[in-house]
Amino acid sequence: MADQKQFLLSESDIPKQWYNVSADLPKPLDPALHPGTGQPAGPEDFAPLFPMELIMQEVSQDRWIDIPEPVRDMYRIWRPTPLIRATGLEKALGTPAKIFYKYEGTSPVGSHKPNTAIAQAYYNKMEGTKRIVTETGAGQWGSAIAFACQQFGIESKIFMVSASFDQKPYRKSMMQIYGGTIVSSPSTETEAGRTILAQDPNSPGSLGIAISEAVEVTVQNDDTKYALGSVLNHVLMHQTVIGQEAIKQMDMAGVYPDIIIGCAGGGSNLSGIAFPFIPERIAGKDTRFIAVEPEASPSMTRGKFAYDFGDAIGMTPLLKMHTLGHTFIPNPIHAGGLRYHGMAPLLSNLLEAGIFEARSYHQKTCFEAAVQFAATEGIIPAPEPTHAIRAAIDEALVCKETGEEKVILFNLSGHGHLDMSAYDNYLSGEMVDYAYPAEEIARAMESVPQVG
Ligand SMILES: Cc1ncc(COP(=O)(O)O)c(C=O)c1O
């Protein structure tokens, strides 16, 4: 019999706790700062936006946090997710490397995003929230939060980045099926949206702008809270169910990863798969962790490690992170979920510590990798994880040169069934690679506030 392909766990293997990497950082995280005073923000500063339980998770130093039973119960709809050995891809590449991927596309909405959406909706429900407002890029997060809110009987309103609103009409249908209300961003519904539209009536929007709109609506309504699909500590922590399962599954396969790869927009799927492996790395294992970002929005490879706002207008607390400047609006690449000016503070911290490395790719080479992946493994990836696949293939090709039998693990964070317009664009030869937006980034960098 050929090598085993799938490594499957049972429901009882769904993790009972989330792993909080904050407890194990070589250097503590710089605190979030209040946008007005520039002083460290306290729990009360976040209270208009998030339920208190999530705020406490945000600052917790506990290594493990229990997953509430109703959340684990809901996870059973799609968790544990499979770990698959990419035997077809290995063969096509002729590499001695062993390539494994954790497939998060089996969730109801087709990505890793419900791992945190379910948890956030649960804590909101416990604290009496009637409505959650959020932003979405590609629509993956929006559909995850709409799904999660419906499960817990909460309303959802989603500001969807206008570039994706036009590119991905069926994501809108999906959010509507789950009872969500969707608005194209920038919109005329908020002061933030009107400001941006006054500057550019054809603005393609950005995650930063959509966040400004969602935050504005939240602070104006007492029964409403905000939810973020990435970047914040608690969001990354909820995603660690991915890596905890992967540890067990790699063990079943009798291997340990030499290289762990994920695409990074705000950093949540990569952190989810990678963080549970960090304690072993700190204890001496030489696993490499690779973050892959688009050349059109290269916060880690070209950005600055500085305090900056999480949104375009400057309403959120200041976070110490890799940033291109909060006013930066990336070109409309198809990986809408990677069009963000910043990076999660936890991931930024670990990048600074030399534990993570980062690289960037243009979109065409990523889609080329995705089409090769679909031809050999069958699954059509979402545009975001095509970046992880590109890097995994490149690392496997290095092994082909050197003859090393490295074990490569990457996160396939979602499927691309609702992203066919992106594939059409690639297959018709019309897809463009945007030149590195040096001038726009230089201009946006001037928006990074002077702190301290
Ligand atoms: C399928 C998929 N992968 C990755 C991302 C990037 O986000 P993050 O870096 O938080 O995982 C997104 C964001 O929308 C996504 O939809």
Q: Find out whether the beta carbon of 140 lies less than 6 Å from any atom of ligand 1.
A: yes
Q: Residue for token digits 């726009």?
A: 440
User: Sign of the CA dihedral 236, 239, 241, 242?
Assistant: negative
Q: How far is it, in rounded angstroms, from Cα 242 to Cα 82?
A: 10
**pLDDT of res. 394:** 98
Cα 265 to averaged position of ligand 1 atoms, centre (Å)? 6
Report DSSP letters for 320-368, one per residue.
EEEES-TT------S-GGG--S---HHHHHHHHTTSEEEEEE-HHHHHH
10-residue averages of pLDDT along the chain (452 residues): 90 98 97 93 94 97 98 98 98 98 98 98 98 94 98 98 88 96 97 96 93 96 96 98 98 98 98 98 97 97 96 93 95 92 98 98 98 98 98 98 98 97 97 92 93 76
R_g of the chain computed on alpha carbons: 20
Residue nearest (by alpha carbon) to ligand 1 atom 4: 384
Is the CB of 383 within 6 Å of ligand 1? Answer: no
Nearest atom (ligand 1) to Cα of 229? 10
Cis peptide before 80 (omega within 30 of 0): yes
CA of 269 to the centre of ligand 1 (A): 6
Q: Whose CA is nearest to atom 1 of ligand 1?
A: 414
Q: Is the CB of 381 under 6 A from ligand 1?
A: no
**Cα separations in angstroms, 187 against 45, 144, 191, 204, 222:** 26, 22, 9, 11, 22
Residue 266 CB less than 6 A away from ligand 1: yes
- Strands in 224-226's sheet, in edge-to-edge order, are 180-185, 155-161, 131-136, 224-226
- Look at the block and give the residue holding tokens 């510590």: 353
* Candidate of 101, 107, 113 to mutate for ligand 1, largest count of ligand atoms within 8 Å of Cβ: 113
Residue nearest to atom 13 of ligand 1 (CA): 337
| Ligand 1 atom index nearest CA of 385 | 3
Kindly report the pTM of this predicted structure: 0.97
- Does residue 268 have its Cβ closer than 6 Å to ligand 1? yes
- Residue 201: how many CB atoms within 10 A of its CB? 8
DSSP letter, residue 415: B
Any ligand 1 atom below 6 A from CB of 193: no
Q: Which long-range contacts (CB under 8 A, 24 or more apart) does 185-192 make?
A: 185/135, 185/159, 185/160, 185/161, 185/209, 185/210, 185/213, 186/162, 186/210, 186/213, 187/159, 187/213, 189/213, 189/217, 190/216, 190/217, 191/216, 192/216, 192/311, 192/312, 192/313, 192/315
Say what angle helices 114-126 and 140-152 make with each other, to 10 degrees. 40
Tokens of 441: 């980034």
pLDDT at residue 452, rounded to an integer: 66
Determine if ligand 1 sits within 6 Å of the CB of residue 448: no
Exposure pattern of 32-67 as b/e (b: 16+ CB <10 Å)?
bbebeeeeebeeebbeebbbebbbbbbbbeeeebeb
Task: Kindly give the distance from the C-alpha atom of residue 401 to the centroid of ligand 1, in angstroms, as a whole number.
Answer: 31
The Cα–Cα gap between 38 and 215 comes to: 19
Task: State residue 164's pLDDT score.
Answer: 86
**C-alpha 423 chain-centroid distance:** 21
Of the candidates 102, 69, 168, the residue with the CA atom closest to the CA atom of residue 424? 168
**Ligand 1 center from residue 309 Cα (angstroms):** 20
Nearest to 120 by CA among 54, 46, 44: 54
3-state helix, strand, coil in the chain (%, to 5): 45, 20, 40
Cα-Cα end-to-end distance for the chain: 63
Instruction: Decide: 300 and 131 in contact? Cβ < 8 Å.
Output: no
Task: Provide the token pair at 100.
Answer: 């494994």
How far apart are the CA of 388 and the centre of ligand 1, in A?
Answer: 11
What pLDDT score was predicted for residue 167? 80
Task: Return the closest-CA partner of residue 355 out of 363, 364, 346.
Answer: 346
Ligand 1, residue 269: give the atom nearest the CA.
11
Number of residues assigned to the chain: 452
Distance CA 178, CA 128 (A): 20
Atom of ligand 1 nearest to the CA of 136: 14
Cα separation of 80 and 362, whole Å?
32
Closest-lying ligand 1 atom to the alpha carbon of residue 336: 14
Structural domains present in the chain: 6-13+68-110+234-445 (3.40.50.1100), 111-233 (3.40.50.1100)
Q: How far apart are CA 154 and CA 122, in angstroms?
A: 10
Task: Tell me the best of 109, 237, 338 to mutate to test the pocket of ligand 1, counting ligand atoms within 8 Å of each CB and taking the most.
Answer: 338
